[in-house]
Amino acid sequence: MIKYIRNFSIIAHIDHGKSTLSDRLIQTCGGLNEREMTSQVLDSMELERERGITIKSQNVTLNYKSKSGQPYQLNLIDTPGHVDFSYEVSRSLAACEGALLIVDVTQGVEAQTVANYRIAKEMNLKIIVALNKIDLSTADPNRASQEIKNIIGIDVNNAIQCSAKTGYGIPELLECLIHDIPHPQGDPCAPLQALIIDSWFNQYLGVVSLICIKNGKLYKGDVLKSMNTGQKYTVDQIGIFTPKQVKREILDCGEVGWLVCANKNIIKTPVGDTFTLSTHPAKKACHGFKKLQPYVYAGLFPIGSKNQKIFRDALYKLSLNDSSLFYEPERSEFLGLGFRCGFLGLLHLDIIQERLRREYSLDLLVTAPMVVYEILTIDNRIIYVDSPSKLLSLTKIKEIREPVVLCNILLPKKYLGEIISLCIKKRGTQIDIIYHSTQVTLTYELPMSEIILNFFDQIKSASHGYASFEYKFSRFQRSNIVCIEILINKKRIDALTVITHQEQSIYHGRLLVNKLQKLIPRQQFDIVIQATIGKRIISRGIVKQLRKNVLAKCHGGDITRKKKLLYNQKEGKKRMKQIGNVNLPHTVFLAVFDVNNNKK
């Protein structure tokens, strides 16, 4: 019965114990036995376990018998905590009626804790606070409770103290979940409405969709219709995760489960779409969630022409699993055929690159990551560009606008000076500052290009690891943006072009030229490296030629003989420079990435 179903997500800042708590809930409810239990059960990717982070939201259905003896069905969705994957949190919460907000009592409230709380609050979810890691010697539940009350504004009198590691407080937490979180409000007799929460590619089943039955019931063999595209599909298989993949004949109203149709193209059934029955369709779709636009773009080029098809297929399969991944073909004069890919942040880029390497054995060259710029032309047209080549190809530009984000930074008071100095260096504008008992909340407007690369590392370094931040896109703002082009022996290398702010262009150009001087191997002729903005050269360097000592065989004799040998060598070097090709190793292109990380 629907009144005994509870759908909830676990939300928290990164490394506050979400996945470990999920493990303990699974173990307590008997989802897996002792032999089958592994650390971080729901972190199914090897990459997730290695890095100790959750990348993809995961679902599990648990059967729990309350203290009164009443059986309940708990649908738990574990969510990521890193700011790059906050879109996964909002998608997961769309299927829930409640959220379990975890706070690490050794670290207290952090920025993503506040951000995730706001997402859950906007969706009108019932929020239960759990104080985790209570078993540690450095635990300070009183301080954590005070921070929750002061910074977030939640009454913590009923907060559950627990330890995901030892299992302390887990039974009380489960009882609190079933009593405080409301059951789904759907109607089992109404026309079917199934919200698509996620999709991924399985090499045996094809496209698998994670769905939540908002209204009605879903049976194996039903003919479904997408309310977004109108396309029809036949249900091949349905089931739930326990966390094992278990087949079922029916998914009832309020349940969360998986669905396999005869559909290989998930683009036609996007995440956030609603399935209904083709014979008895619902009148309107579920309230979904908008598709997130990528913030960071970079060119990915496979090493070796034989890998082109493998690379294209790999990106397609990854995009099924990750709807925020954008890609389109791109051709570089120097690197050949590749793809221009869009990501939510630098960690997202790093994860995709690592998955391509591990799962598909692809070695890739990655060009300098950049944000999307808004271009206003003289005839008042708006154009969005995500690559330097697109910006250089435009004429009649009236102004260039860069994306600005609203950034909330939570930090201890004693590091306030260092963090403000860092924000000023990043061209930030202070919007607000709020003092709490021991912490401060700083609100800044910052250019997105300044924070997507290494701002996280710099803010951690300036605060000795204690500060945290979260951000969201605010607007586009007029800015003095320039393209730095790299010429090697007067030949433009398109893959090394970068976009930066005018204030940083000289520094950035010099840094790039110095890096290239060290990385390009010496050849039989001088290699001239120039960094230019338009026709103006802002930095120049030379990789000196290798020279053979042509006078070694001359032991005395007429000076004219020596001059002739030196003249012949000089003329030969000139001819070689005119027809010779400069061979650039792969490390040269990685240098651009490092230069971006070394920005002021």
Judgement on whether residues 125 and 149 belong to the same structural domain of the protein: yes
pLDDT per residue as tens, the chain (600 positions): 788 999 998 888 777 777 788 888 888 887 555 555 554 444 444 544 444 444 345 688 889 998 988 999 999 876 664 455 556 677 778 888 999 999 999 988 888 788 888 888 888 999 999 999 999 888 888 988 888 888 888 888 888 999 988 889 999 999 999 999 999 988 999 999 998 887 777 777 778 888 899 999 999 989 998 887 788 888 999 999 887 888 999 999 999 999 988 665 555 556 778 899 988 888 888 876 666 678 889 899 887 767 788 899 889 888 876 777 889 999 888 788 899 999 888 878 888 888 888 888 888 888 888 899 999 999 999 999 988 888 888 888 999 999 999 999 999 899 999 999 999 999 999 999 999 888 899 999 999 998 877 788 888 889 888 888 888 889 999 999 999 999 988 888 888 888 999 998 999 899 889 988 888 888 777 889 999 998 999 999 998 877 677 666 776 667 777 777 777 767 665 655 544 466 676 667 666 665 455 554
- Tell whether 400 and 531 lie within a shared domain: no
β-strand partners of 491: 488
Residues 38 and 131 occupy one common structural domain = yes
Q: What are phi and psi of 360, to 5 degrees?
A: -125, 5
Describe the crossing of helices 346-360 and 308-321 by its angle, rounded to 10 degrees.
120
Is 95 within a domain? yes
Query: How far is it, in rounded angstroms, from Cα 535 to Cα 544?
Result: 24
At 586 the pLDDT is 67
3-class SS letters over 268-291: HCCCCCEEEECCCCCCCCCCCCCC
Judge whether 18 is annotated as a binding position: yes
**Alpha helix positions (H), 2-45:** 18-28
Q: What is the CATH number of the domain that holds 249?
A: 2.40.30.10
**403 and 361 both lie in a single domain:** no
Instruction: Name the domain boundary from 277, 306, 338.
Output: 277
**288 is annotated as contributing to ligand binding:** no
CATH number at residue 445: 3.30.70.240
Residue 425: how many CA atoms within 13 Å on its side-chain side? Answer: 14
Task: Quote the pLDDT of residue 578.
Answer: 46
Same domain, 433 and 532: no
User: What pLDDT score does 593 carry?
Assistant: 60
133 annotated to a ligand binding site = yes
Alpha-carbon gap, residue 495 to 168, rounded angstroms: 55
351 Cβ contact partners less than 8 Å away, ≥ 6 residues apart: 47, 55
Alpha-carbon radius of gyration of the chain: 29
What are the tokens at 531? 């960094």
106 labeled part of a ligand binding site: no
Picking from 124, 147, 180, the residue at the C-terminal end of a domain is 180
Within a domain: residue 497? no
My answer on whether 170 and 197 are in the same domain is no
Report residue 1 as tokens.
């019965």
Domain assignment present for residue 27? The answer is yes
Nearest CA to 409 out of 455, 458, 470, 474 is that of 470
| 68 and 132 part of one domain | yes
Residues 28 and 142 in one domain: yes
Residue 129 and residue 151 in one domain: yes
Question: Known binder of ligand: residue 398?
Answer: no
Same domain for 418 and 321: no
* Residue finishing a domain among 180, 213, 240: 180
Asked if residue 262 is part of any domain, the answer here is yes
Query: What does the pLDDT read at residue 521?
Result: 84
pLDDT at residue 339, rounded to an integer: 92
Residue 288 domain-assigned?
A: no
Residue 95 identity: A
Ligand-binding annotation for 16, yes or no, is yes
Would you state the pLDDT for residue 538?
A: 95
Q: Is 460 one of the annotated binding-site residues?
A: no
10 Å Cβ neighbour count for 490? 7
Tokens at 444, concatenated: 């800044």
Is 217 within 8 Å of 37 (Cβ atoms)?
Answer: no
The answer as to whether 188 is a domain residue is no
Angle CA(204)–CA(56)–CA(188) in degrees, nearest 5? Answer: 75
> Which pLDDT belongs to residue 385?
92
Establish if 499 belongs to a structural domain: no
Q: What is the CATH number of the domain that holds 554?
A: 3.30.70.2570
> Residue 557 and residue 127: Cα distance in Å, rounded?
95
Using CB atoms within 10 Å of the CB of residue 249, give its burial: 0 to 12 exposed, 13 to 18 middle, 19+ buried: exposed
Cα–Cα distance for residue pair 173/160, rounded to 1 Å: 6
Alpha-carbon distance 492 to 486, whole Å?
A: 6
Per-residue model confidence (pLDDT) at position 575: 55
What residue has token string 């959750």? 54
Alpha-carbon gap, residue 392 to 62, rounded angstroms: 55
> Can you tell me the distance from the alpha carbon of 119 to that of 477, in angstroms, rounded to the nearest whole number?
26
228 is in an annotated binding site: no
Q: Can you spell out the DSSP letters for 121-168?
A: HHTT-EEEEEEE-TTSTT--HHHHHHHIIIII----TTPEE--TTT-T
At 142, which amino acid appears? N
Range of the domain at 421: 374-478
To which residue do tokens 């930095």 refer? 539
Rounded (10°) angle between helices 86-93 and 111-122: 30
Same domain, 176 and 207: no
Structurally, how many domains does the chain consist of? 5
Residue 199 near residue 210 (C-beta atoms within 8 A): yes
User: Do 247 and 197 form a contact (C-beta atoms < 8 A)?
Assistant: no
Which of 375, 309, 330 has its CA nearest to residue 495? Answer: 330
| Nearest partner of 11 among 129, 166, 94, judged by Cα | 129
Q: What is the pLDDT of residue 376?
A: 93
Tell me how far CA of residue 158 lies from CA of 70, 110, 134, 356, in angstroms: 23, 20, 15, 45
Do residues 257 and 248 make contact, with C-beta atoms less than 8 angstroms apart? yes
Please indicate, yes or no, whether residues 252 and 392 belong to a single structural domain of this protein: no
Residue 208 domain-assigned (yes or no): yes
> Is 325 in contact with 352 (CB distance < 8 Å)?
yes
